[in-house]
A and B are shown apart, each in its own frame.
Chain A
Amino acid sequence: MPADKRAEAWTEIVLRVLKANEVRLVAYVPDNVLAPLISMLHADPYFTVICPAREEEAVAIVSGAYLGGLRGIVLMQTSGFATITNALASLVCPFQIPLLMMISERGTLGDFQLLQAIVCRTMRPVLETLGIEHFSIQRLDDVEFVVDRMVKQAFWTQAPAAMILSPLLTKKDNLDGISHG
């Protein structure tokens, strides 16, 4: 299918919406689902992309950048989110830092690993306990509206936001792309 006829992929929409909202810094720990977005971000000189050793480092880098006047986002998977509770509870929340998080949801809707499933079940209780705004994006039609609104609300309200990428978005129309990596 010609490029101009096909629907814009979720990765392309996310990249475009981040630019429109002047989110220039990306810090990530890699993940299979996020891999195509990560490649596009690396290839685009608009973005400064940092790949630290741990997710809580990524949280601190993006938080520090906000203090210095630069907007950023942390990309991670569910198991990475499980490692950042202390950074959220003792840095992001009390200092009122509008940290943007994009989390690829592993461990649900057909994951082959029990450990991913167990880790996944910790994510929403932590987000809810800390009072962090979160939304699971399931449909391609919703990507632009949800990402754009959540980014804006984070900065308007001086509060963190977690955009969760459901397998319904990232896997359903891409069954050939399922990887056991």
Chain B
Amino acid sequence: MASLMADSASRAAAKIMNRSDLTRRLVAKLGAAEAVIAGIGNCNFDLWASGQRPQNFYMLGSMGLALPIALGVALAQPQRKVFALEGDGSLLMQLGALGTVAAASQRNLAIIVWDNGIYQITGGQKTLTSSGTDLVAIARGAGLANSAWASDEEHFETLVNRALAGDGPWFIAARIDGEKPAGTTERDAAKIRLQFMQGLGASAAVQKVPG
């Protein structure tokens, strides 16, 4: 069954987990066929710390744009499953992107949002999710039917397995704690882009100008 509507654990009932742990669980399931685009800050840092893959793209700025960047990658490489990792604060900046993904019916795209209810990297100020904004409800309202809260680590892995196996778009939300990330990225933007494009086999095709 493709729908996640049966997985209707509420935000309040979802276990508070750890981003570094969940990121490692995700990356352990991935091979060279899957791409990951991680948003600014701690999403990036934990993805980096989980083991650098050439199919990872680490955003250094442009808060809120991990999801539309991932949509672009997914449009370019429809045979590849593409994961967007965002924090709650970042996703809240660009909620329209959920509707864009739904309108495109982007089957090879999976969105994972880490929700700790705070702008952790700037000192722990509260985000809107801490006062009742439910990102899974918003995603469903935007047209992403396959949206669910991960109730615990085992359920998170089940949801990721489904996203890997079947057509999306998928939206997986996980409540996380306020622990620091397990590392930090390099800051060389050009190197990050080149490695990612080589990891996707994209560099030669797009750099050859016709005529």
If A57-B94, A95-B189 touch, whether A67 touches B73 (CB-CB below 8 Å) is yes
B190 near A96 (CB under 8 angstroms)? yes
Query: Is A174 an interface residue when CB atoms closer than 8 A count as contact?
Result: no
A136 to chain B, nearest CB (A): 23
Contacts between the two chains (Cβ within 8 Å), count: 141
Q: Hey, which chain A residues are within 8 Å of B60, CB to CB?
A: 90, 94
Chain B binder among A36-44, A58-66, A106-114: A58-66
Most buried by A among B72, B96, B192: B72
Interface residues on B, range: 35 or more
A68 near B72 (CB under 8 angstroms)? yes
B98-116 contacts to A (CB < 8 Å): 99-100, 103-104
Q: Which chain A residue lies CB-closest to B62?
A: A91
A151 and B127 CA atoms in complex are apart in Å by: 41
Contact with A along B45-66 (1 / 0, CB 8 A): 0000000000001011110110
If A91-B61, A91-B65, A97-B193 touch, whether A64 touches B94 (CB-CB below 8 Å) is no
Q: Hey, which chain B residues are within 8 Å of A71, CB to CB?
A: 206
If A67-B196, A68-B200, A68-B202 touch, whether A57 touches B65 (CB-CB below 8 Å) is yes
A48 and B71 CA atoms in complex are apart in Å by: 13
How many residues in A have their beta carbons less than 8 Å from beta carbons of B? Answer: 41
Query: Is B125 an interface residue when CB atoms closer than 8 A count as contact?
Result: no
Contact among A57, A58, A67, A87 for B197, CB-based, below 8 A: A67
Contact with B along A8-41 (1 / 0, CB 8 A): 0000000000001110010000000000000000
Q: Which chain B residue lies CB-closest to A152?
A: B209
- Identify the B interface with A (CB < 8 A): 35, 37, 57, 59-62, 64-65, 67-77, 80, 94, 96-97, 99-100, 103-104, 189-190, 192-193, 196-197, 200-203, 205-207, 209-211
A to B CB contacts below 8 Å, 30 in the list: A20-B210, A22-B210, A25-B72, A51-B103, A52-B68, A53-B100, A56-B64, A56-B68, A56-B94, A57-B68, A61-B75, A64-B74, A64-B76, A67-B57, A67-B196, A67-B197, A67-B202, A68-B35, A68-B76, A68-B200, A69-B77, A87-B65, A89-B61, A90-B60, A91-B65, A95-B189, A96-B190, A96-B193, A97-B193, A156-B209
